[in-house]
Chains A and B, each alone.
Chain A
Amino acid sequence: MADALDSSPLALRVSESVGRSTVRALSSVGFGAILAGQSLYWLVLGRRQGQVVRARPVFAEMMEIGIRAIPIVTLLSMTIGIMLAIQGIYQLQRFGAQSQVVFGVAFGMTREFAPLITGILVAGRSGSALAARLGTMTINQEVDALRVMGMNPVRYLVAPSFLAMLVMLPALVIWADLVSLLGAGLYISADLGMTLSAYFGRVLDLLRVGDILHGLEKSVIFAVLIVVIAIVDGASVKGGAEGVGRVTTRAVVHGITAIVLTDMLFAFATTRG
């Protein structure tokens, strides 16, 4: 079989390997969907089957995913807010329309940049940590140990992270909205001589609840993607410590790719209609 493959024409071999990776990718997606479904199941119905999702690990995860990310989220979203203001003013100057920069900043940040940058950061921080943890646990037979102790690994390992991510990522996005708008506001008020309160008044006039929600909805999807991808990749670990390193990297790359693609698709789907 392997020999036959090797002697077959290149085109055939390529299509064979494309086919195989497609099947693998699809089965990963299927596995991911099952994981998400099971996590939800245990969260809602676990108690009845002796598989309680406990509060303590959920809080611990919230701490790790959310609270500990606040400094870096603050720094980056502030920076991006200022960056957007600088570029906006520079471009709009050519039309003498600098004051319109508030428009661009308010929509750009809440609809696009805050969720995107937060998602990417959290994928890098917590998606990787989750994949590494699951990979290490699989290799150390800890996942097997859970199973023989009657503790469903999805319930015990995945569900708490899932819940924590679903709460904390949107929360971080709201924070990023605020901070980035503040950052942009500081720059704009300094550069254009607009007072901060006038700036925020303008922002509030412009933004509708829908704009904020647009960003939050995306962040919920990102949350699901980050956890599911981290777990699927982490569980696919092979070999020792090296294998863990590999799946961790893979989880981050997959996570960020999925976030950026989804972001585009979501924007496309929700702005036409």
Chain B
Amino acid sequence: MIEVRDLVTHYGPREILHGVDLRIEPGEIMVIIGGSGSGKTTLLRHLLGLKRATSGSVRLLGHDLAAVSSLELFELSKRIGVAFQGGALFSSMTVGENVMLPLVEHTRLDRETMEIMMRMKLEITRLSGFEDLMPSELSGGMIKRAAFARAVIMDPVVLFADEPSAGLDPTVSRSLDELILELRDAMGMTIVVVTHELDSAFRIADRVTVLDQGDVLFIGTVDEIRRSENERIQNLLNRRFKEEELDPDEYLARLTGERSRT
């Protein structure tokens, strides 16, 4: 489905990814995790053909992204959906128009059908009733969900989501996770999710790729990663467990700046 070989990339003189190898199989949910600045979004941009690699190759749905013609890329774009990190909704259109845009551009459906499809997608992202608002009238989390709705409106073969649940409250974040699982189960969608929320990652992932400062540290199933002996991975996981074991009193003390409250 997606195959990345020895991908090296630069921003200016800085090397960001140092030889990434990655395969994503049809129908699987691959979650890419890693700290902030580790290169997750950069890797995603390569998977989407938005950035040219210094060396190495990316194949998406059987096409080498460095060699495809613009017409092939156009056809390819109808089969993928992308929810960007910041939503990337068009500020001059209403939420509904944003979500419908791919349909307007790529299909000949009549307006009514498109609107029904749009409302369905807004329904599953829990945004029904907001279609006539402008993106500037939405909260950050709502923008993400609207972007998600736009990403799935064409029922893509491959869905990419960059930090879909970052900054959402736990219930909505959970429901988005469930939605991701549903999309895979019901439609066999291949889904690539970038996140740094481990809970969410473990909930949805079939396999996990751990990126660390531009290197792939680990690729494997959720169980494998939990059992991994690699110190850096354990650090990554433990950070989460520590957070969960927080003592509320101590936490409050830290927040209010009190030294100790014996």
Please report A residues at the B interface, Cβ cutoff 8 Å. Answer: 49-51, 136-137, 140-142, 144-145, 147-152
Q: Is A144 a contact of B50 with CB atoms below 8 Å?
A: yes
Of the A-B pairs whose beta carbons lie under 8 Å apart in the complex, a sample of 22, sorted by A's number, is A49-B71, A49-B74, A50-B105, A51-B74, A136-B91, A137-B90, A140-B87, A140-B91, A141-B84, A141-B86, A142-B91, A144-B48, A145-B90, A147-B50, A148-B80, A148-B82, A149-B101, A150-B74, A150-B76, A150-B78, A151-B101, A151-B105
Residues of B close to A141: CB separation below 8 A: 84-86, 88
Does chain A have a CB within 8 A of B111? no
CB distance from A236 to the nearest CB of B (A): 14
Q: Is B88 a contact of A140 with CB atoms below 8 Å?
A: yes
Does chain A have a CB within 8 A of B19? no
A50 to B104 alpha-carbon distance, docked (Å): 11
Residues of A close to B78: CB separation below 8 A: 150
Q: Is B105 a contact of A150 with CB atoms below 8 Å?
A: yes
Residues of B close to A148: CB separation below 8 A: 48, 50, 77, 80, 82
Closest 3 CB pairs of A and B: A150-B77, A145-B88, A141-B88
A152 to B74 alpha-carbon distance, docked (Å): 9
A134 to B157 alpha-carbon distance, docked (Å): 30
A49 to B78 alpha-carbon distance, docked (Å): 13
Residues of B close to A145: CB separation below 8 A: 82, 84, 88, 90
Q: List 7 additional contacts besides A151-B105, A152-B70; criterion CB under 8 Å.
A: A136-B91, A140-B91, A141-B86, A145-B82, A145-B90, A147-B77, A151-B101
A149 to B74 alpha-carbon distance, docked (Å): 8
> B142-154 toward A: CB 8 Å interface, digit per residue (1/0)?
0000000000000
Residues of B close to A50: CB separation below 8 A: 74, 105-106
Residues of B close to A140: CB separation below 8 A: 86-88, 91
Q: Which residue of A lies closest to B154 (CB)?
A: A149
Residues of A close to B106: CB separation below 8 A: 50, 150
Q: Which residue of A lies closest to B76 (CB)?
A: A150
Report the tally of A-B residue pairs with Cβ distances under 8 A.
54
Q: Is B105 a contact of A149 with CB atoms below 8 Å?
A: yes
Does chain A have a CB within 8 A of B5? no
Within 52-80 of B, Cβ neighbours of A (below 8 Å) are at 70-71, 73-78, 80
Please report B residues at the A interface, Cβ cutoff 8 Å. Answer: 45, 48, 50, 70-71, 73-78, 80, 82, 84-91, 101-102, 105-106
Residues of A close to B84: CB separation below 8 A: 141, 144-145
CB distance from A178 to the nearest CB of B (A): 33
Q: Is A144 a contact of B88 with CB atoms below 8 Å?
A: yes
CB distance from B145 to the nearest CB of A (A): 15
CB distance from B11 to the nearest CB of A (A): 11
Q: Is B102 a contact of A149 with CB atoms below 8 Å?
A: yes
CB distance from A114 to the nearest CB of B (A): 32
Residues of B close to A51: CB separation below 8 A: 74
Q: Is A149 a contact of B85 with CB atoms below 8 Å?
A: no
CB distance from B194 to the nearest CB of A (A): 13
Given known contacts A50-B106, A144-B45, A149 and B77 CB-to-CB distance under 8 angstroms: yes
Q: Which residue of B lies closest to A149 (CB)?
A: B102
Q: Which residue of B lies closest to A150 (CB)?
A: B77
Residues of A close to B45: CB separation below 8 A: 144
- The CB with the most chain A CB atoms within 10 A, among B73, B75, B86, B88, is that of B88
CB distance from B30 to the nearest CB of A (A): 18
Residues of B close to A147: CB separation below 8 A: 48, 50, 77
Residues of B close to A150: CB separation below 8 A: 73-78, 102, 105-106
Residues of A close to B50: CB separation below 8 A: 144, 147-148
Q: Which residue of B lies closest to A141 (CB)?
A: B88
Q: Which residue of B lies closest to A145 (CB)?
A: B88
A166 to B88 alpha-carbon distance, docked (Å): 29
Residues of A close to B89: CB separation below 8 A: 142
Contact of A142 among B48, B74, B90, B102 (CB under 8 A): B90
A140 to B89 alpha-carbon distance, docked (Å): 8
A188 to B90 alpha-carbon distance, docked (Å): 51
Q: Which residue of A lies closest to B73 (CB)?
A: A150
A50 to B78 alpha-carbon distance, docked (Å): 11
Residues of A close to B87: CB separation below 8 A: 140
Residues of A close to B77: CB separation below 8 A: 147-150
Residues of B close to A137: CB separation below 8 A: 90
Residues of A close to B101: CB separation below 8 A: 149, 151
Q: Which residue of B lies closest to A147 (CB)?
A: B50
- The CB with the most chain B CB atoms within 10 A, among A137, A140, A144, A148, is that of A148
CB distance from A126 to the nearest CB of B (A): 15
Residues of A close to B70: CB separation below 8 A: 152
CB distance from A39 to the nearest CB of B (A): 15
A151 to B93 alpha-carbon distance, docked (Å): 16
